[in-house]
Structure formats: structure tokens, C-alpha cells
Amino acid sequence: MCSGRVDLEFILRAFSNGMDGVFIGGCRLNECNYITQGNYDALNMVLLCRKIMAHIGLNPERLSIEFMSSGEGIHFSEVVDGFCKKVKDLGPLGKGEKIDEDELKSKLEEVRNLIPYIKIVKRKKLASRLENKEEYDEFFTSDEVDRLFREVVSYHIDPDKCQACMMCFRKCPVKAIAGGKNLIHVIDQDICIKCGTCFEACPPRFGAVNKISGKPVPPPIPEEERIMVRKSKKM
Ligand code: SF4
Ligand code: SF4
């Protein structure tokens, strides 16, 4: 019902499913029926998504957002006709950009996996409301989005420091941490959404969770090496 409900995931899923263009229609800015002003959220998300599309080689013109009232039927049909024509001119998704189909699929998949991370890193900007269109033109820059992908952060538990206190295990929102009593904890990188909760949750006296950027994450230690032998029990 509200354009604010259109998630970044919905758009990227549409492209992953082979849609050549995505059009979002929202109520006029500052005319939202609710205090949430969800159409600003939609606008910010579209601006970010368009930069992400350019980053992976897709023409950002394939994504459009327009604001209008329900009484503007003629305007709506003109805008949609214009968008359809533009998308037809661009050609099928990927082919128009000369990107190999498999490469495009894997690029879209890579971005979709990072959606929770992107939303966390860009949450302040995604919730902003700017006053005029000019301010929005360069709201998200290409450099900023390139950096976002270049400096993706991963989290890793140092097996030599983990004390199996289970704080991170209990707080991880997606159950990406394997652990338990007297077990060195391990993050499953395929499930981790890079929210940073474990980094915050690990008591400073242990400091076992590391933030890693720009280099590979060490492989998880084998299961048979995860059992902890406490000093008191060693004696
Ligand atoms: S970064 Fe977030 S999702 Fe990943 S393991 Fe830590 S708490 Fe779980
Ligand atoms: S919070 Fe830190 S010490 Fe405790 S289980 Fe997690 S990584 Fe290990």
C-alpha cells in the first residue's frame, strides 16, 4: 500500500527474476497520510539502488520512482508509458549492458546477500528527508557506493580468545554462530548478515570478535578442536 514498503530486496529480486525494469509509484512527497512519510524512505532507497545498479554494470534508468496523487490518472498513464518505452529502448536486462547472464546473476546475488549490511551501514542516510530535489541528485555518490562494496566488513571469532561465554551466540539475530557451553564459538559466514551485534556483545575482557575488512576471513576451526579445556580441569 505504501511505497515505503518497497524494500531494496524486492527490486533486486525483480531484476534477478529477469525483469527489464522496475517502476515504483508513490504518493506525492509531504502528502503522506501518516507521520512515517514512507515515500521519502522509498526515494532514498531508490537513489541508493540506482547507484548500486551502476556499480554492477546495470543501467540505473531501469529503475524509476514517481510521485503522484490518485486523482492524476492521465499523468500516471503518461509516466508509465514513458517508462515502458525507455525500458524497451534499453533492451533486455543485461543484454542491453552487454553483461554475461551468469555474471549478472552472480553480481545480483552478491548484492542481495549484502542487503542487511547495506541497510545497517547506510541507515542514517536512508532515513533522511532532504528539502529539495537538487540535494537529492548527489545524495549517494558513486565513490561512496564503490567504497561500500570494497570495504565490506566481516566478523570472525578468534579461537584463542573465545571463552565460550555464549553472549554472542544468544544475541546473533540470524543464528549464524555455532557454539555452546565449553565450545569455542564459530561464525558461519554464509549465514552472517554482518550486523556487528557479536562484536558489541563480546565482553571487552575477552575481545574475541574481530572486524575484518579488505582481507579474507580465516577458515573456521575444525569441529573436533572446538571443545575447550578449562585450566582448572587441566590440572
Ligand atoms: S555479525 Fe551479526 S549476524 Fe554475523 S555472526 Fe555476528 S551477530 Fe550474527
Ligand atoms: S561473546 Fe566472545 S567470548 Fe563469548 S562466546 Fe562469543 S566470541 Fe566467545
Mean pLDDT, range 114-133, rounded to an integer: 89
Is the model's pLDDT at 25 over the cut of 60? yes
Q: Is 222 helix (H, G, I), strand (E, B) or coil?
A: coil
User: How many whole angstroms separate alpha carbon 130 and alpha carbon 134?
Assistant: 9
Does the CB atom of residue 185 touch ligand 1 within 6 A? no
Ligand 2 atom at minimum distance from 206 CA: 3
- Determine phi and psi for 209, rounding to 5 degrees: -95, 125
In this predicted structure, what is the pLDDT of residue 101?
A: 92
206-219: average pLDDT: 94
Identify the H or E element spanning 14: helix 8-16
How far is it, in rounded angstroms, from Cα 149 to Cα 169? 27
pLDDT computed for residue 31 by the predictor: 86
The predicted structure's pLDDT at residue 232 = 61
Q: What is the mean pLDDT of residues 64-87?
A: 95
The pLDDT of residue 57: 96
Higher pLDDT, 136 or 203: 203
Looking at residue 1, what is its pLDDT? 77
Judge if the beta carbon of residue 198 lies within 6 A of ligand 1.
yes
**Cα–Cα distance measured from residue 169 to residue 186, given in angstroms and rounded to the nearest whole number:** 9
| Atom 6 of ligand 2, residue of closest alpha carbon | 168
pLDDT in tens, 26-38: 999 888 888 888 8
Summary mean pLDDT of the chain: 92
pLDDT at 235: 47
Percent of the chain with pLDDT over 90: 82
- pLDDT tens-digit readout, 155-195: 999 999 999 999 999 999 999 999 999 999 999 999 999 99
> What is the atom index within ligand 2 of the atom nearest the CA of 167?
1
Determine the distance separating the centroid of ligand 1 and the alpha carbon of 186, expressed in angstroms.
10
From the CA of 102, how far away is ligand 2's center (Å)?
39
In whole angstroms, give the CA distance from residue 15 to residue 108. Answer: 8
pLDDT of residue 30: 86
State the Cα–Cα distance between residues 104 and 137, nearest whole angstrom.
26
pLDDT surpassing 80 at residue 231: no
Instruction: Tell me: pLDDT of 207 over 80.
Output: yes
Residues with CB under 6 A from ligand 2: 157, 162-169, 179, 185, 201-202, 206, 208-209
